């Protein structure tokens, strides 16, 4: 059953401009589903879902869509979802020195709305031997428009089982020494404190955005209709996002149909 009436009230999206450094940020400790202690064998599951309209200006660059955690270059863990080399998207889980990377080549159509759902079921994600590597990889899923999008999985030092600190939370860029800003449009961002990969078809809803306040309700839900400053959490406990946008024209009349 597709819910079609929602399109009449979900008409606006935020347009991210890489050259202006536009982004969304929040206190990372409001999203405790992502945190973990070093060596924790049973970290919490989570799911991230959002509508993304990537721009063709991406070219050969790498652009941050979502970032949570510490500084990977300093060996700190992070969750990174990024667009790379045009119509590709990937998830990197871990640090520069220990990580799992899930590449989705030619799965992220430019100048078109894509629904991206990334999930993690919880559990061990790394170690110092390769025996458990396939088990670590199987804990993650990436779907684009309800289709399994992963084309290649790579690792550095058999994955990452260190801590995931609540230091940074960004949508649209990582505010570090090598900023990677996003060019494109984003609509309806949802976070679940559970693995919702089994419910992906219901969330996808045949490619029609729906009112998630009544279906597979997220822990946190953000929509964009009125503000380029503070984006309220529709389903959570006042975990608002601070939007760094500079013009009302960044709130665009372009949303998934």
What is the model's pLDDT at position 187? 93
The structure tokens listed for 61 are 């660059």
Residue 9 has pLDDT above 80, yes or no: no
CA-CA distance, 224 to 14, in Å (whole number)? 7
Q: Among 197-206, 210-219, 220-229, which is the least confidently predicted range?
A: 220-229
First-to-last alpha carbon distance for the chain, in angstroms, is 16
Q: What percent of the chain has pLDDT over 70?
A: 93
Q: Check if the beta carbon of residue 67 is closer than 8 Å to that of residue 26.
A: no
Summarised one tens digit per residue, pLDDT across range 11-55 is 889 999 888 888 899 999 999 999 999 877 788 999 999 999 998
Stated as kind and residue range, the H or E segment containing 47 is strand 46-54
pTM equals 0.93
Return the closest-CA partner of residue 175 out of 230, 84, 242: 242
**β 99-104/88-94 pair status:** antiparallel
The structure tokens listed for 24 are 């969304």
Chain-wide mean pLDDT for the chain? Answer: 88
């Amino acid at each position: 059953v597709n819910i079609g009436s929602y399109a009449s009230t979900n008409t606006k999206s935020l347009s991210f401009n890489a050259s202006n450094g536009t982004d969304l940020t929040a206190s990372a400790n409001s999203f405790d589903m992502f945190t973990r202690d070093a060596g924790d064998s049973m970290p919490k599951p989570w799911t991230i879902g959002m509508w993304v309209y990537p721009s063709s200006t991406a070219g050969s660059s790498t652009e941050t869509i979502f970032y949570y955690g510490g500084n990977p270059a300093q060996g700190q863990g992070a969750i990174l979802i990024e667009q790379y080399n045009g119509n590709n998207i990937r998830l990197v889980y871990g640090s520069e020195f220990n990580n799992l990377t899930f590449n989705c080549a030619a799965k992220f159509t430019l100048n078109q709305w894509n629904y991206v759902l990334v999930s993690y079921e919880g559990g061990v994600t790394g170690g110092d031997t390769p025996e458990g590597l396939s088990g670590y990889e199987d804990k993650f899923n990436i779907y684009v428009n309800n289709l399994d999008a992963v084309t290649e999985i790579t690792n550095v030092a058999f994955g990452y089982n260190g801590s995931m600190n609540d230091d940074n939370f960004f949508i649209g860029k990582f505010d570090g020494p090598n900023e990677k800003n996003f060019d494109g449009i984003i609509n309806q961002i949802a976070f679940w404190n559970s693995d919702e990969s089994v419910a992906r078809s219901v969330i996808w809803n045949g490619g029609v955005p729906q009112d998630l306040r009544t279906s597979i309700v997220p822990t946190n839900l953000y929509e964009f209709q009125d503000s380029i400053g503070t984006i309220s959490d529709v389903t959570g406990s006042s975990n608002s996002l601070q939007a760094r946008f500079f013009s009302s024209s960044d709130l665009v009349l372009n949303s998934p149909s």
